[in-house]
Structure 1
């Protein structure tokens, strides 16, 4: 199996991944990104995928796309490039995904709570690693994830669906899901020098991923304060102000404190300068009973603060 180590998902990164694939590769995993309608279709003409996956459709880059329908239609472009003997793997829990289904002549395999590949009997350990029973048309399996967060279950089901559609035995899929390696800055859970639990999810941010990260922070078993240091969610256009307010309200409902970094859009306490964040945290006198989350769009550079405070 060959895949790019990072998000090489554009008209430069996708060809680079193809060109760097070893000759003996049996499977090639590619991520396709888009900045406008037509981008996924163009990339699909380069790749000619056998299996196409739409993981979800959420409000991201709406400043560029303009609407959720435009995002959905763009992601659906991959389905038109699948061969009849291929497979479209679709998130059955997202209506905007399922509306794209008729665009493909390939067979369909769905995942999610309403899908053919789904999770039941879900439990989490203290590090937010999920254990669950995966039910599939090929049978049932016991899954133990080594990545943190409830939202990773859906990602795992999507990956499992791809493996099963490609003909892998259920046992091989179980084994693969137990040793996943995420790209950097995605749900990394570590500790600061004073023992504070730190969630570093600073790779990027949109309203859906923000809420998922806050959910994860709220699920930690620590008994002290839970504080989310949140920066700007970029490229949301006219929806920006309302989206930030809704994220702040979501955190409040879960008992999570929000400290905004270099933005006033959350309507909460804020730190005006990125360079002041570490000093502000030190002044909070947090200890091993407390937990903090860092998340923002990549342009904020919030990951640099995490590097300063973790062990």
Structure 2
């Protein structure tokens, strides 16, 4: 979406110090690596980098405009002739202001997805269904914060027929802030689980925060809720518009029946359509139905969604079944929390003939509940019939100790400080014919273990 210089000034409350108010500018970019000639570079301050350090690179790439903070203007000038420069107090606030301005131009449904688990999968499922049928925008990767959501809106075109947003959070008020920018008309809540407890305090705090999406929907909007999670279902009382519940529960508005699961994926019926999806986990039924329900709200029949999802590929490192020689790797390395750990362990019986090896990384951001959660996981591992448990990270030591206390052979349990060390030793624990589950929080980078196994086993 393009803005004139004057429109940027109006949206941000900034000051034009170079260039003409009526000058036309290209799309907003915050990354000089992908910036194209004629675009506008907005210099964000991040945890690792300050975008103002890359103003020179933006100019070398022939940016037509700059949005920068007043405090750095003297260090940045003089500017090449014709370059528009807008000074603002805070470039993060300016990005959000521009996201709101972009949203004002949209006349299409805006779909927002949140939840403790599964939101990226639902987003990708919706994108798979709607992408070939309607003109619209699905954000790349996990554009789910106060940078990604405005950028998603700014990437949209005024004639788009849908825009899809993902809302993440780790502290109170973040979902409400994202909703105030995107103003969604369709909201999907996947699940409430024990995640980000350091910031949100308790599972009730997680529910309050996720429910802020439902609060933000307009009277003409619709909330799509997980009927299998009581904390999500309870959010229906917070909606000013319609609600649609989905899941296996008998009270669900869109209910899955005749559910079957195999290593090849899921099969179930719902609303007269037959779904066959190459993903694993009973929880994926809710995710698929939530996606189908959202697509139905923008005019796509359930049967068309079911047909599109037969070709669905799960997002990278999210319960992805990978073959490494004759070893099957269940790569769920993207992230971890107690609920998703239980789901992953519950899938192991799908391969009854294979020996099970579990590379288990820390579950981060659990606050005071961390030790209890890791101990509970250790007991669950002992009950799951895992042949080798390889724990990675300081917090997962509690998992190892609890597994041994619950009866697992101490010789079958190992602990490593980090994923690099575990990856280097992976060959000690894995042999031909095994099923290997790999899972841990994003900060642990458990994908290093998956890569090591792929190399060692001949992928």
TM-score by length of 1: 0.92
Q: Is contact 2:233-2:245 (8 Å) kept? A: no
User: Which of 14, 19, 23 pairs up with 2:149?
Assistant: 14
Over 3 Å counting, the alpha-carbon distance change for 1:48 and 1:191 in structure 2 is same
Q: Quick one: distance in 2 between partners of 1:182 and 1:253?
A: 28
Structure 1 residue 285 displacement after superposition: 5.3
CA contact (8 A) 1:231 1:261 kept: yes
**Residues 1:275 and 2:420 are matched in the alignment:** yes
1:238-257 aligned at under 5 Å gives the runs 238-257=368-387
Structure 2 gap segments, 5+ residues each: 1-135, 404-412
Q: Does the CA contact (< 8 Å) of 1:202 and 1:298 recur in 2?
A: yes
Cα displacement (A) at 1:23 = 4.4
- The 1-side partners of 2:448 and 2:425 are apart by 15
For residues 168 and 286 of structure 2, the distance between their equivalents in structure 1, rounded to whole angstroms, comes to 19
What is the number of equivalent residue pairs in this alignment? Answer: 303
Pairwise mapping of residues 138-177 of structure 1 onto structure 2 (< 5 A)? 140-177=272-309
List runs of 5+ in structure 1 lacking aligned partners.
Answer: none
1:89 aligns with 2:224: yes
Separation in 1 of the partners of 2:430 and 2:319? 24
User: Match for 1:212 among 327, 330, 343?
Assistant: 343
Residue pair 1:262, 1:270 contacting (<8 A) in 2 also:
no
Structure 1 window deviating more from structure 2 (167-176 vs 40-49): it is 167-176
Secondary structure of the equivalent of 2:422? Answer: helix
**Larger-gyration structure (1/2):** 2
Structure 2 Cα separation of the partners of residues 2 and 262 of structure 1:
38
Q: Offset of 1:163 from its aligned partner?
A: 1.5
> Contact between 1:230 and 1:294, CA under 8 Å: does it hold in 2?
yes
How far residue 116 of structure 1 moved from its aligned partner, in angstroms, is 1.3
Q: Give the conservation status (yes or no) of the 8 Å contact 1:54–1:75.
A: yes
CA distance in 2, matches of 1:256, 1:73: 36
CA deviation digits over 1:136-169, x for unaligned, max 9?
3xxx111100223332112111111212233321
Say which SS state the counterpart of residue 100 (structure 1) adopts: helix
TM-score by length of 2: 0.63
1 or 2 for the larger relative contact order (CA 8 Å, sep ≥6)? Answer: 1
What secondary structure sits across from 1:28 in the alignment? Answer: strand
3-state DSSP of counterpart to 1:99: helix
Shift of 1:106: 0.7
